[in-house]
């Protein structure tokens, strides 16, 4: 990609964080992270922190699918010792359900960290984590469409938007299910680094974008009004 | 997803393998793997082996982008001690260039393992690894469109297809760049488990598929005939 002005919002380093917990959805993390990885080829002042309860690798396997296959990702920091962050990515997945201690630790981390963030991005049922952390109260947000009602019930004070590829409210960007995480991240890069830059990045990833956040074929498919 | 007959091709366990090397493209691995992970929720007889030169975590960072951010994934097996595999996934990425020892080990592994596979799937410049392994000789194949000429030069005896989201030739499925890996994997699942099952899986991932392998907007964008 051609180099381009990075705009005034991140003259300082851009410090990305990702929250992991057992049973995270792989693509909820690596759709956005691939965008950020490619961004970092051009924007050298980036750091990535992968946060979890301990530094042990975290698996995409959740307790509810013990027979499933899964991949393990290595954290860089614990929730107890986080570095300063500008952007926090919160994925969804089967592991967002229930009250397993690592999940509760992730919810607590989102609650305590949100006030110091420039942006919070959630993907899929990751919005349920943000809702349980209380940071979506009074905000518009969306989530996975197949699990919409289940996740919406976790945040009775959230203005849930059933028909949206993603929703922005203030500095919180919430995406719909799984691959919507790619679209929300490219849209965020467009906001911060310019749309032309974001489109070139999408082209290099050969990604056919959803560019209109209000167009959502999956809301209709799953019977959401 | 509703359970459904898995078809006759995999009454036996479905043994997936993934080749890793430093500088692999995160989404080349985790687009397909997310599809396989979701498949494994319904199809219990699956195993996953993540193969690398050693059991040390492998980073998406490549030597050519030392300032980039990256994620580390934990292998399960070394190239020297692989389990039997049915399907091998070969990702691309900046790390497919050059002659670093871990890359050469990956190429050797693809060469020695291919004869025992039921299917080989490559994503993006992963086709360059397969080409250097010699397993694409005499076959039709495609690769990343921005890097098409560079990768095609690695396989002078390959029938490179410039305009394709993915190409199948015998038991080899080669995808175009990055997010094409999601489409090729869902198409493969459709072939093996039935199209209705594959479409439901895509819907749950809220993925707007490319379903026609010959439609390729990125070939045009990058000036390939």
* Among B residues 121-150, those touching chain A with beta carbons less than 8 Å apart: 144-146
Asked if B78 has any chain A CB less than 8 Å from its own CB, the reply is no
Q: In angstroms, what separates the C-alpha of B164 from chain A's closest C-alpha?
A: 12
C-alpha of B176 from chain center: 10
Q: Evaluate the CA torsion angle B102, A25, B31, B122 in order and state its sign.
A: positive
CA angle A189, A164, B211 (to 5 degrees): 80
As a whole number, mean pLDDT of residues B181-194 equals: 96
pLDDT band at A4 (very low <50, low <70, confident <90, very high): very low
Q: What is the DSSP letter of A115?
A: G
Class assignment of domain B14-221? alpha beta
- What pLDDT was estimated at residue A11? 62
Distance CA B143, CA B145 (A): 6
Q: Render the burial of A181-198: b for 16+ CB within 10 Å, e for the rest.
A: bbbbbbbbbbebbeeebb
Q: Which of residues 152-211 of B touch A (CB under 8 A)?
A: 176-180, 182, 203-208, 210
**A221–B205: do the CB atoms touch at under 8 Å?**
no
Q: Sheet holding A166-169: strands in order across?
A: A77-78, A46-52, A14-19, A87-90, A119-122, A172-175, A166-169
Which residues are within 8 A (CB) of A91 and not within 5 positions of it... i.e. 6 or more apart? Answer: A18, A19, A20, A24, A25, A28, A29, A122, A123, A124, A126, A181
| pLDDT greater than 90 at residue A19 | yes
B104 touches chain A (CB under 8 A): no
pLDDT category of residue B44 using cuts at 50, 70 and 90:
confident
What is the model's pLDDT at position A10? 60
Q: Is the pLDDT of residue A8 over 60?
A: no
Question: CB contact, 8 Å: A26 with chain B?
Answer: yes
pLDDT digits (tens, 9 = 90+) for B137-163: 999 999 999 999 999 999 999 999 999
Residue A78 has pLDDT above 70, yes or no: yes
CA distance B48 to B73: 13
Residue B197 has a pLDDT of: 94
Q: Which burial class, exposed, middle or buried, applies to A118 when counting CB atoms under 10 A from its CB (0-12, 13-18, 19+)?
A: middle
Chain A residue with CA closest to B15: the answer is A69
Q: Decide: B163 and B225 in contact? Cβ < 8 Å.
A: yes
Check B20, B87, B107, B124 and give the catalytic one. B124
Q: In this predicted structure, what is the pLDDT of residue A64?
A: 86
> Can you tell me whether residue B145 is helix, strand or coil?
coil
Q: How far apart are CA A31 and CA A38, in angstroms?
A: 11
Predicted structure pTM score: 0.95
Task: Please indicate whether, in this complex, the C-beta atoms of B33 and A25 are within 8 angstroms of each other.
Answer: no
- Chain A residues close to B29, C-beta within 8 Å: 30, 71
Position of tokens 């995160």? B26
Q: Token pair of B37, please?
A: 């992970």
The predicted structure's pLDDT at residue B66:
87
pLDDT digits (tens, 9 = 90+) for A110-159: 999 999 999 999 999 999 999 999 999 999 999 999 999 999 999 999 99
Query: How does pLDDT run across A27-73, given as a tens digit for each residue?
Result: 999 999 999 999 999 888 999 999 999 999 999 999 888 899 999 99
Please check whether residue A177 is in contact with residue A124, taking contact to mean a CB–CB distance below 8 angstroms: yes
pLDDT for res B225 = 73
**Do the Cβ atoms of A31 and B27 come within 8 Å?**
yes
Task: Determine the longest span between alpha carbons in chain B, in angstroms.
Answer: 48
Q: Give B216's contacts (C-beta < 8 A, 6+ positions apart).
A: B145, B163, B164, B165, B176
* Residue A37 to residue B60, Cβ atoms within 8 A: yes
A22, A29, A35, A37: which to substitute to probe chain B, counting the most B Cβ within 10 Å? A37
- Rounded CA-CA distance A88/A19 in Å is 7
Q: Which residues of B touch A70 (CB under 8 A)?
A: 37, 48
pLDDT per position as a tens digit, A87-98: 999 999 999 999
Q: What is the pLDDT of residue B64?
A: 87
Q: Is the CB of B43 inside 8 Å of chain A's CB atoms?
A: no
Q: What is the pLDDT of residues A155-187, one digit of tens each?
A: 999 999 999 999 999 999 999 999 999 999 999
Respond yes or no on whether ipTM tops 0.90: yes
Q: What is the pLDDT of residue A44?
A: 82
pLDDT over threshold 70, residue A7: no
Nearest alpha-carbon partner for A51 in A129, A128, A125, A124: A129
pLDDT of residue A3 exceeding 80, the answer is no
Mean of the per-residue pLDDT values of chain B? 94
Percentage of residues in chain A having pLDDT higher than 90: 90
So where are chain A's domains? Answer: 14-221
Q: What's the pLDDT tens digit per position in B66-124?
A: 899 999 999 999 999 999 999 999 999 999 999 999 999 999 999 999 999 999 999 99
* B1 CB-near residues (< 8 Å, 6+ apart): B38, B41, B42, B197, B200, B201, B204
Give the CA angle between residues A28, A97, B76 to the nearest 5°.
55
């Amino acid at each position: 990609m051609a180099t381009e002005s990075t705009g005034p919002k991140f003259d300082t380093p851009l410090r990305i964080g990702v929250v992991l917990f057992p049973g995270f959805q792989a693509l909820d993390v690596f759709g956005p992270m691939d965008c950020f990885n490619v961004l970092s080829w051009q924007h050298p002042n980036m750091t990535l922190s992968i946060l979890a309860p301990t530094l042990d690798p975290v698996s995409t396997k959740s307790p509810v699918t013990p027979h499933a296959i899964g991949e393990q990702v290595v954290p860089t920091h614990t929730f107890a010792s986080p570095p300063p962050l500008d952007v926090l990515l919160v994925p969804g997945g089967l592991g967002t359900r229930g009250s397993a201690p690592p999940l509760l630790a992730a919810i607590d981390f989102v609650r305590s960290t949100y006030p110091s963030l420039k942006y919070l991005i959630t993907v899929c049922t990751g919005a349920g984590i943000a809702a349980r952390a209380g940071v979506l109260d009074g905000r518009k947000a969306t989530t996975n469409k197949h699990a919409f009602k289940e996740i919406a019930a976790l945040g009775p004070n959230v203005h849930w938007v059933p028909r949206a590829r993603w929703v922005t409210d203030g500095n919180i960007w919430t995406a719909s299910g799984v691959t919507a995480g790619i679209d929300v991240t490219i849209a965020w890069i467009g906001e911060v680094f310019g749309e032309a830059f974001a489109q070139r990045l999408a082209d290099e990833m050969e990604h056919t974008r959803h560019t209109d956040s209000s167009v959502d074929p999956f809301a209709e498919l799953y019977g959401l009004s």
